Structure 1
Amino acid sequence: MPDPWRQAIGGPPDRPLVVAHRGGAALAAENTLAALSAAEAEGADAIETDVRQTHDGVLVCVHDADLSRLCGDPRHVADLDLPVLRQLLPEVMTLRDVLAASGKLGLLLDFKLADEAALLRVMEDIVRSGAARRVLLGLRSLPLIRAARSRTPEIDILAFLDSPYLVEQAAAAGARWYRLWQGWAMEESVAAVRRANLRLVVMVGQPRSVALPEYPPFPVGEVDQDGLSRIAAIGPDAILLDDPRLLQAGKKSCPPV
């Protein structure tokens, strides 16, 4: 099946793409230019970062809705103007910062909002920067996937849906990639993704702060070598993790995609 995103970023065809989660959160402060640079130096094929919007309408790369975890401030990103946000998070990137600084590196943008108008602004910035072919746009609802696909066929879309059972609906809406959590990446779910002619991203770790028995006992973004071996055995097209160094030794041994 065609793989425009892999082709655009020069990803080797014989192994999963290495995608650095939150810019490479194990290498430097998450979602910062320092993490991006470190992830690229460590051989990541792409970096993943998050997109939110400040009170004054600037698109910024921050994962959480509020700043409690990052700097102990309970206020929400959406309630702060960019100058105030930069006082609290001096290294915060704007979307335009990451589009400019990432060069030819692949970008997976996790759009955290439900606002279609903001989504269109994101897409406009991507196209204006000339990065449309190297961006994979991660969207969290079927309506947003449909809205983005109706605007342009050029940007690849990843379905970041909260279920492994919406594969056919995601494909019909216009997604070309599907995210499975590591705990979801069983034979049946992987086969469903393949039947829908979608590319597969596996997100390591689990989405909850309290481990559930059906998930690996690691927080989001973290994994051990046994977990990586199990993931590689299913032949994903990309693996999303905090530390791209964990995949360096296994690059040549990963099964073809």
Structure 2
Amino acid sequence: MPNHGQSSMMSLAQHLAGQPRPLAIAHRGGALLGPENTAATFRAAASAGAALVETDVRLSADGALVCLHDADLTRVTGDPRRVAELDLATLRRLLPGLMTLDEAIAASQPLGLLLDVKLSDAVVLRAILARIDAAGAGARVLLGLRSLPLVAAARHVAPDIAILALAGDPCSAPEARRAGAGWFRLWEADATDARVAAVRAEGLMLVVMVGQPRDSALPEHPPFPVGQIDAAGIAALMRLSPDAVMLDDPRLLIAAREAAAPVTALSSS
């Protein structure tokens, strides 16, 4: 079992100390800044002022941990084959900018790194944790997990890692906290005052993911693709005071944040 040393949850807060809130998380590395989930786009997100970059983790046919959002390559290459059916060499031929997890950990420095783990296998989870540990990156990694059993499994294996619950149920903050999460994701459309208050009541850090419609019945507020938002949406989120916002273009949040006063900083405690 990896030795994760001092508290990574505490260390992540320390790593982010002094960063103004809401923290800007560049979704898929900053998908409106360049090709998604690539080292070049990570660099663009850093230059734009993001505090963290988010990337996705999947498993290739030959066991490589790779950073791809979709289960197949249809959207990004036109090839309908699944990531899990292709070996790393084939994936690299089809997507020259593809990063392995190790490469993403290195390329994200010195930013925080949110890993959206698209896998549900606890054995693979252990492999991911081992790569984080081998890179000495636990202090700046936020592990995004999509089921409460996997949150509990990660907490058991790595008592100190910072975990974001990517829960399907926006009302499951109490269960996420009990499973071991320290952060909780709400979709933009689910981020009501009541749900935000419920997340706060559990002592969880709140991440809002943009892209779901606020009110699709209103023509002035049409649905947005995942990761995208307009100025009105940003303004509404700022009023909720989330700890972080995940979006394709972190510059939108940073501009709104800089226009607001006073600016608060993320505590290291």
Q: TM-score range by the shorter chain?
A: over 0.9
Question: Which amino acid is 1:133 matched to?
Answer: A
The aligned counterpart of 2:119 is 113
The aligned counterpart of 1:45 is 51
Distance 2:187 2:211 in 1: 7
Q: Percent identity?
A: 52
Question: Which amino acid is 1:161 matched to?
Answer: A
Q: CA RMSD in A?
A: 1.9
The aligned counterpart of 1:190 is 196
Per-residue deviation, 1:10: 4.0
- The structure showing larger relative contact order (alpha-carbon pairs under 8 Å, at least 6 residues apart) is 2
1:251 partner SS:
helix
Q: 1:50 to 1:84 in 2, by over 3 A?
A: same
2:206 partner SS:
strand
Distance 2:230 2:10 in 1: 28
**Structure 2 residues not aligned, in runs of 5+:** 1-8
Greater CA drift, 131-140 or 151-160: 151-160
The aligned counterpart of 1:136 is 142
The aligned counterpart of 1:19 is 25
**Structure 1 residues not aligned, in runs of 5+:** none
- Tell me if structure 2 keeps the 8 A contact 1:142–1:173: yes
TM-score, normalised relative to structure 1? 0.93
Distance 1:213 1:180 in 2: 21
Per-residue deviation, 1:6: 3.3
- Tell me if structure 2 keeps the 8 A contact 1:11–1:17: no
TM-score, normalised relative to structure 2? 0.89
Question: Which amino acid is 2:33 matched to?
Answer: L
Question: Which amino acid is 1:144 matched to?
Answer: L
1:180 partner SS:
strand
Question: Which amino acid is 1:5 matched to?
Answer: L
The aligned counterpart of 1:223 is 229
The aligned counterpart of 1:6 is 13
- Tell me if structure 2 keeps the 8 A contact 1:11–1:45: no
Distance 2:119 2:191 in 1: 26
The aligned counterpart of 2:243 is 237
* 1:90-140 Cα distance to aligned partner (Å, 9 max, x none): 100100001112222100000001111111100110011011010000000
Per-residue deviation, 1:19: 0.4
The aligned counterpart of 1:248 is 254
1:222 partner SS:
coil
1:249 partner SS:
helix
* 1:199-240 Cα distance to aligned partner (Å, 9 max, x none): 000000129xxx955996101000011100100111100000
Name which of 146, 150, 164 aligns with 1:158: 164
Distance 1:102 1:204 in 2: 22
Question: Which amino acid is 1:56 matched to?
Answer: D
- Tell me if structure 2 keeps the 8 A contact 1:9–1:104: no
The aligned counterpart of 2:5 is none
Q: 1:40 to 1:128 in 2, by over 3 A?
A: same
Distance 2:205 2:75 in 1: 32
Q: 1:92 to 1:224 in 2, by over 3 A?
A: same
- Tell me if structure 2 keeps the 8 A contact 1:182–1:216: no
- Tell me if structure 2 keeps the 8 A contact 1:27–1:39: yes
The aligned counterpart of 2:3 is none
Per-residue deviation, 1:154: 2.1
Task: State whether structure 2 residue 78 is matched by structure 1 residue 68.
Answer: no
Task: State whether structure 2 residue 51 is matched by structure 1 residue 31.
Answer: no
Per-residue deviation, 1:251: 2.4
Question: Which amino acid is 1:28 matched to?
Answer: G
Q: State the aligned residue count.
A: 252
